[in-house]
Amino acid sequence: MDSSATHRAPWHKQVAHRVFLTDTAVLFAVAILGAVLRFGADAEATTNGPLSVSYWTFGATLAVGWSVALQAYRTRDSRVLGDGVEEYRRIVRASVTFFGLVAIASLVFKIDSSRGYLAITFPLGLLGLIVVRRVWRSWLNRQRQRGAMITNALVIGGMRSAEDITRHLGNSPQSGVRVTGVWVPDRATSLCEWLPIPDAFVPVMGTERNLDAALSVAEAELVIVTDTEHLGHAGLKELTWELEGLDVDLLVSPNVVDVSGSRIQLSRVGKMPFLNVDKPTYGDAATWPKQIFDRAGAAALILMLSPVLLAAALAVKMTSRGPVFYHQERIGKDGEPFGMIKFRSMHPDADARLASLLSEQGESVGPLAKLKNDPRITRVGGFLRRYSLDELPQLFNVLFGTMSLVGPRPQRQFEVDLYDHVAHRRLRVLPGMTGLWQVSGRSDLTWEEAIQLDTYYVENWSLTADVAILWRTMKAVLASDGAY
């Protein structure tokens, strides 16, 4: 095959190089800052032992080694940059492993380094790396939203699976992959056949073209195999041979959807590779780490936000008639009802007026039903809602164990009555003050999209994901984007 049939777009290496430079700059800055904070700017402190060196030299060596560890763990691989939590997981693993090796090397070579210095540089360096990667991720996502830095992909397989993948990737520009061609090796097609997808012109090729021609038409830098049936016996192995020497990546779709990467492992059975899909992780959401995280976090937030809670309560009480708090029965874990509390943001007769007001706007009472420019909201209530301050009393729900900081949004009984067997999986964990669907579009999502996001969260729960959702929630609240 002609190796010039396709080529890798230069942006992959450019981005990786820039990330390398900023990683290294952060690590050197942290090494210097750690020495200044621990020993002072003018100190000439040195490590003890046979290899006695100044902390400036020790810090520089530490920074270089840490950067090498990041490279060894492939944290700058184009496959992980800009999408998902795998990039952050690799950074944490590389950092923990590297500092473990530093501890071992210190014992072997009898280097008595300051524990205080390492206690400063490790958390600061890890935090700095994650912040810098987050900045790069935001920049890369903005570029991809504009149509730049996108990898063209040729899909090999059946029409149905190709259409599904094309739609999914088209709705996920942050993935950085765009399907530009479909090749069905064992199907005769016309020279003018296109995939039936709105707003996309994806040519479909068959027996009239070989792989080289299909790659050229699609200008592909990536090949995605949806199934091996259309390639014939041992076709995948032959495909790898044909791609040998080309700067083209190969992905094989397992046709497993809504399963996080942490639940998927590669296993070999009888010299054949299989994907081992772990069971859903919702059971882990009931264990003590999650409970401690929730209750300790709620207690800390109540103490920190006590002036805000008091001010909001006084504002509600002094500006409108009625109670300060609004109590509503919601459905919690395992279908058990509980009383959810909020600051009252509406007039006391709000519930009685809902149906008639929705009817005036051409809506009906149903899941996620909301009014825009809702006349029932008080002036203070509008301010509280804009910044989600009306939700703060739910911290007491979290403290008492009926809610979680992060989880599916608790819904009312009539909404739960509409659940199918898939939506019922939302009830496997405690409901949350915030959740995946709230930070993925908030009020603008459809019922089906909200259920899909919540069930994904339940099936793939992790404490890392909870922290990420809380961070995204703070950003969404400050932007006051999409809440009404």
The total of other beta-carbon atoms located within 10 Å of residue 229's CB is 11
Give the Å distances, CA to CA, from 478 to 127, 133, 341, 378, 389.
22, 21, 22, 21, 11
CA–CA separation, 125 and 26 (whole Å): 7
Structure confidence at residue 41 (pLDDT): 61
Structure-block tokens of residue 327: 């109590």
Contact 246, 1 (CB under 8 A): yes
Domains by residue range for the chain, with CATH: 11-145 (no CATH), 151-255 (3.40.50.720), 284-479 (no CATH)
Contact 434, 470 (CB under 8 A): yes
**DSSP per-residue letters across 68-86:** HHHHHTTTT-TTTTTSSSH
DSSP classification of residue 195: -
Structure confidence at residue 175 (pLDDT): 82
CA–CA separation, 170 and 155 (whole Å): 13
**Which stretches does DSSP call E strand in 104-160?**
151-156
| Cα Rg, the chain, nearest whole Å | 27
Structure confidence at residue 427 (pLDDT): 94
β-bridge mates for residue 482, sequence order? none
Of 437, 458, 438, 460, give the one whose Cα is nearest residue 449: 437
Ranges under pLDDT 70 in the chain:
1-10, 41-53, 55, 84, 107-114, 191, 232-233, 349-373, 441-444, 479-484
Amino acid at 361: Q
Q: What are phi and psi of 327, to 5 degrees?
A: -105, 135
- C-alpha 238, offset from chain centre: 35
Structure confidence at residue 391 (pLDDT): 93
In this structure, the dihedral spanned by the alpha carbons of residues 447, 448, 454 and 456, taken in order and rounded to 10 degrees, is -170
CA atoms within 13 A on the CB side of 287: 8
Structure confidence at residue 232 (pLDDT): 67
Structure confidence at residue 210 (pLDDT): 87
The total of other beta-carbon atoms located within 10 Å of residue 306's CB is 10
Structure confidence at residue 363 (pLDDT): 61
Structure confidence at residue 97 (pLDDT): 93
Q: Is 321 exposed, middle or buried (0-12, 13-18, 19+ CB in 10 A)?
A: exposed
Structure confidence at residue 13 (pLDDT): 83
Of 164, 159, 340, 327, give the one whose Cα is nearest residue 255: 164
Q: Are strands 177-183 and 272-277 parallel, antiparallel or unpaired?
A: unpaired
| List of residues 6+ apart from 176 with CB closer than 8 A | 82, 83, 140, 144, 149, 150, 151
| List of residues 6+ apart from 418 with CB closer than 8 A | 366, 367
CA–CA separation, 106 and 215 (whole Å): 52
